[in-house]
Amino acid sequence: MTGLIGSIIIGILAGFLAGKIMRGGGYGCLINLILGIVGGAFGGWIFNAVGINWGGTIGQLVTAVVGAISILFIASLFKKS
């Protein structure tokens, strides 16, 4: 699954999974999905920086989930309780 639409779908799925994985559920469904799309790009940047390159749909999904969890974690540092 390549291209822009495929990347967006993987990002949305990653945001959903990251919201389920993170304690407290993140920020709600819509924000988690948006953060998943941003997290997909962020995860790709992180993995590229350390020299990890996973191909295929599963590799893209894992990369996006790691990025989305990172984004949710960073955002949770600024979230007021």
Does residue 26 or residue 21 have the better pLDDT? 21
Domain count for the chain, please give it: 1
**Rounded to whole angstroms, how far apart are CA atoms 8 and 61?**
11
Asked if the structure places residue 55 within a domain, the reply is: yes
Q: By the 8 A CB rule, do 60 and 54 touch?
A: yes
Range of the domain at 50: 14-78
State the average pLDDT over residues 48-59. 84
Neighbours of 74 (CB within 10 A): 12
Select from 44, 40, 41, 42 the least CA-distant residue to 17: 40
Asked if the structure places residue 5 within a domain, the reply is: no
- pLDDT bin (cut points 50, 70, 90) of residue 24 is low
Asked if the structure places residue 8 within a domain, the reply is: no
Asked if the structure places residue 1 within a domain, the reply is: no
Residue 73 predicted with pLDDT over 70? yes
